[in-house]
Every structure is written in C-alpha cells, then in structure tokens.
Amino acid sequence: MNRKMKTIQMLVVLLMMALLLVACGTAVEREAVGTRSFGSQEANVEEVKFQSGGFRVVGDLRMPAGEGPHPAIIMVHGDGAATRNGAVQFGPMIEIFLRNGYSVFSWDKPGSGESTGQISNAVTERAEILADGIAVLAEHPRIDPGRIGLWGISQAGWVMPLALELRDDVAFMIVVSGGAEDGIEQGAYMISQQVLADGGTEEEAALVERYWAQQRKARDYDEYREAVEVLMGIPTVTSRYDLEITEEKRWKPVPRDWDMFIDPMDIIEHTTIPVLAIYGEKDTIIDPVQGAEAYEAAFQAAGNTNGQIVVLPNSAHVFTSHPEYQDTMETWLQHLSQ
C-alpha cells in the first residue's frame, strides 16, 4: 500500500473517531467571559457550549469567588422561547444562589439565542439535554459533582423528573409552578380556567375539565364523540376553539407514547432527594391544589422525608419576584447546606 493511500485511510479513521466522539459525548467548550454583577453578588462567568444529540447548546455558568469546588444549580426553563437569562427574569434568583455559594448554569433553549436545533418533543428532548448539561457540570474542575441540583418552572415540572431517570447524581430539586399530572389533564385545567375567565359557570368549567381530557384520552370512538359533543355545547369553549367531530373512519386514538401522557408523579413517588415544590394559590395554568396534593402523596409513597410543599397566597403562575417566595427558597437552601 502506498503512502498516499495510508494517509487517506488514517484521515478517514480520524474523521470517524471525531464523529463518534461528537455523537456519544458532550463535546464541551468553555470560555471565560469576565465578571458580572447580579444584584449585590459578583460572579465569574464562563460561556459553555456542549453537544446534546442533534442540538448545540450554549449557555452561561456563573461561579462565586474562590476556586471551589462549588455546589451548583441548573435553571430549567418553562415552555416557549427562552434564553440563558430566562423568559422570567433569572437575575434575582441567580443573586440568591450566588449569595449562598452556588454556581448557576442556564442555557439558551434550542431555537432561542445561540443554541441551535429545533425541539419537537418538548419534554423528552429537553430532559435529555438537561441530563447532558448535568454531565457537563459534573466534569467541571470548579464544581462539586455530588452537589448539583435543579431549579425549574412550569414545564420544567415534567422535564426535571425525566432527567432524574437519566441521571442518578442530582442532589436536590426546586419545582416552581411545575406540572404534577400528565399534560392532557393540565391542559384541561387551564382551559376550564379560561372558561371561568370568559364568564362561564362553575358547572361548565367542571364539564370542560372532565371532557377535554376525555376527548384526548379516548380509546374508542364513542368515548371521543361523547366528549366533543359536550364541549361543543359550551359557548365559552366554542368561542375560543374551533371544534368539530372527526368522522369515525378517520379517527384514531392519540398514541400513548406521546409526551402529553407523561405523569411526573410516576417518578417523584420513587424519588427520595430533597424536593421543594412551590405553587401560587391563584395559578390558572397549573392546578395548585392538585399539584400540592400530588406532591404530598408522592412524597409519602417514596418515604421522602426531605420534601416540602409551599402554596403562596394571592400568587398566580409566575411569582419569582415575590419576597415570600424568595425568602422560602433561600431558607430552604440554607437548611439544605447544614
């Protein structure tokens, strides 16, 4: 074999190895970008890039002074577009985390900011990205791999528990207005609250909450048709949603492996790490009564004595600037460190 052919073969082998590393690993890049202030706290900031499946994820790691190793918190977004700075403002919370000695990692969601790729399965794909982000932190020389926790809001209530199934090294979890039932039931609650806001009656709202879920979960056509007929008889529903009955020959049940059927409580009821679940009493997107009760039942099923549930009075879905919320979270973190 001549030298030219050997060189070509070696280049092919090296290229295949590089592709394998990208496919199987997190392909991490870190770059120091200087010091930034978050309220009264200063942090040394690194921009971190890592590969997660088909996504190239870009975010910021903010670290308190000192070489560490520091405990760390990953901040997990809710639904919709969001950058590393949050759809809700992360700044005040980052200040609290830094003040208590935690490094804070968050990234642009794929399709937002500098992260590339487009998420199709919002919950499962985001959980895989989160699991890879935990792996990135665990390898960082200034991070304590045994003290990496999660903070997340809204849709993160599904994403974070799924990540717990992918990783066994998450130290704690803070859930803010997080889903505690499957996505279909959550959607039914949200639509029932829209009915009330539009002037519908409590009876109509109860019908919507029942039959909206039924038409999505129906296993046979009669069950589906019954639900849609009830919904089409409620004016406050038809004013918002263009409902029609699908012909039986065209109707199919919704596949059970879709993300909307994932119930995070199936995981939480086997979880024994410290968990703080906080809800707003007047949340019209995530049911705070169901959420608090579901977490309580899951803690009992798991024998988790490190779970705490707080329902904030006169608060809706987003309350991250609420002083009582901030005090509750900081006190809980301080107790965790003792």
Tell me, what's the pLDDT at 22? 42
Q: Mean pLDDT for each 10-residue chunk of the chain (338 residues)?
A: 49 42 63 96 97 96 94 96 92 96 97 92 94 97 97 98 97 98 98 96 96 98 98 94 95 96 98 98 98 98 97 95 94 91
Question: Nearest 5°: phi and psi at 171?
Answer: -85, -30
pLDDT at 21 (0 to 100): 41
**Sign of the C-alpha dihedral, residues 173, 177, 181, 183?**
negative
CATH number for domain 29-182+263-337, candidates 3.40.50.720, 3.40.50.1820, 3.20.20.70, 2.30.110.10: 3.40.50.1820
The pLDDT of residue 332 is 97
58, 47 contact by CB (below 8 A)? yes
**Which residues are 45's β-sheet partners?**
34, 62
- Tokens 């070489």 correspond to 67
Q: Is 5 left (phi over 0), alpha (psi -120 to 50) or beta?
A: alpha
Q: Tokens at residue 136, please?
A: 């990135």
Which value, to the nearest 10 degrees, does the dihedral of the CA atoms of residues 82, 86, 89, 95 take? -170
Which residue ranges make up each domain of the chain?
29-182+263-337, 183-238
Q: What pLDDT score was predicted for residue 5?
A: 53
The residue behind tokens 């074999």 is 1
The pTM for the full model equals 0.90
d(C-alpha 206, C-alpha 195), whole Å: 10
- Reported in sequence order, the residue ranges of the chain that DSSP labels E, i.e. its strands, are 29-38, 41-52, 55-63, 70-76, 103-107, 143-153, 170-176, 275-280, 307-312
Residues 6+ away with beta carbon under 8 Å from 22? 51
Residue 20 confidence (pLDDT): 42
Instruction: Judge residue 322's burial from the number of C-beta atoms within 10 Å of its C-beta, 0-12 exposed, 13-18 middle, 19 or more buried.
Output: middle
Give the pLDDT score at 191.
97
Inter-CA distances, 332 with 280, 292, 294, Å: 17, 17, 20
Retrieve residue 80's tokens.
């919709």
